[in-house]
DNA sequence: CTTATTTCAGAGGAACTGAGATCC
DNA sequence: CGGATCTCAGTTACTCTGAAATAA
């Protein structure tokens, strides 16, 4: 992922953050941090970099004085779309030769692994 | 892995390097770098930290003037053994509920994935 | 001469702990 | 007051590129 994303100027953690914002526009810094299992302080650094490069912007939440809502900029959405395509190509290569049944079995097994490790959200 | 290894004073990259040295005692810096897909310059930093904390030591290779042979110290082997145990516990938790057939299928599928991505060594 | 190995120097992104301010 | 959120300050480990010295 690092190798593929570098030409786009993205790191793997940045890709994960952008994907989380895409999934939940207006997400708070604290929620982003919990979602990728880092501290809120670490997330601040990531978010600052993404704001500086213009891929996201943040606005004050009108109903919660302290919360900042993160959203993708036009450019952020464009870059993220390119990243998705690059990574999908790798997925396709990685899964070549698998039957549909084998794909399903693998996905189900991995999902069970993640649940066993304590994440109920998958 | 980060969370589990931190109490031992190890990072995940450091664990990987120690494991590689355990697997191939006397391995060179360049080989270590290739094995975990980082540059030789990055590996220098890792090795310096592991030497500083006394987990590895390096000696000149008698037959190749420029090569440095890395080996675990007594303490390095002890710490690594503890790390293996901690990580094995996680593996056990992650795989709970899997039948032997399901384990075998999962391992075979993942091995195929890695080969598909270009690593012939698995 | 070419290639491989090691290493220094400089840079950047990412993670942590500690501490504090703000808001509900 | 308690709990959640955001952020600053400082530190550390990791990784990169560029450059260079040494050895096979």
Instruction: Kindly determine whether the C-beta of residue A14 is less than 7 Å away from any atom of nucleic acid strand C.
Output: yes
Give residue B118's pLDDT band: very low, low, confident or very high (50, 70, 90). confident
pLDDT in tens, B79-113: 999 999 999 998 999 999 999 999 999 999 999 99
Helix (H) or strand (E) holding B70: strand B68-72
CB atoms within 10 A of CB A112: 18
Say how far apart CA B16 and CA B26 lie, in whole Å.
15
| Chain A residues within 8 A of B95 when measuring between CB atoms | 113, 116
Say how far apart CA B19 and CA B25 lie, in whole Å.
10
Chain A: residue whose CA lies nearest to B114: A94
Q: A106 and B102: CB-CB below 8 Å?
A: no
Give all strands (DSSP E) within A16-90, no chain letters. 56-60, 68-72
CA of B24 to C1' of C2 (A): 28
CA of B117 to C1' of C18 (A): 43
Q: Is the per-residue pLDDT at A66 higher than 80?
A: no
Q: Which of A37, A12, A115, A1 is nearest to B2 (CA)?
A: A37
Say how far apart CA A43 and CA A50 lie, in whole Å.
11
Find the residue closest to D4 using CA and C1' atoms.
A30
Give residue A118's pLDDT band: very low, low, confident or very high (50, 70, 90). confident
Q: Quick check: helix, strand or coil at residue B61? A: coil
User: Can you tell me the mean pLDDT for A4-31?
Assistant: 95
Q: B109 and A94: CB-CB below 8 Å?
A: no
Q: Which nucleotides of D are covered by protein (CB under 7 A)?
A: 4-10, 13-19, 21-24
Q: Which of B84, B70, B76 is nearest to B30 (CA)?
A: B70
| Chain B residues within 8 A of A96 when measuring between CB atoms | 116
| Chain A residues within 8 A of B108 when measuring between CB atoms | none
Say how far apart CA A55 and CA A36 lie, in whole Å.
19
CA distance B53 to chain A (A): 26
Q: Is the per-residue pLDDT at B122 higher than 70?
A: no
Q: Which of B109, B79, B87, B66 is nearest to B1 (CA)?
A: B87
Helix (H) or strand (E) holding A63: none
Q: pTM for the full model?
A: 0.89
pLDDT in tens, B62-84: 877 789 999 999 999 999 999 99
């Amino acid at each position: 992922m690092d190798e593929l994303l570098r030409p786009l100027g993205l790191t793997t953690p940045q890709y994960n953050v952008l994907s989380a914002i895409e999934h939940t526009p207006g997400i708070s810094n604290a929620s982003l941090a919990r979602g990728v299992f880092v501290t809120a302080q670490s997330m601040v650094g990531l978010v600052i970099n993404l704001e500086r490069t213009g891929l996201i912007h943040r606005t004050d939440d009108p109903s919660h004085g302290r919360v900042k809502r993160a959203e993708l900029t036009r450019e952020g959405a464009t870059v993220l779309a390119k990243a998705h395509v690059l990574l999908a190509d790798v997925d396709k290569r990685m899964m070549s030769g698998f039957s549909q049944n084998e794909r399903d079995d693998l996905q189900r097994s991995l999902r069970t692994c993640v649940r066993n490790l304590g994440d109920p959200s998958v």
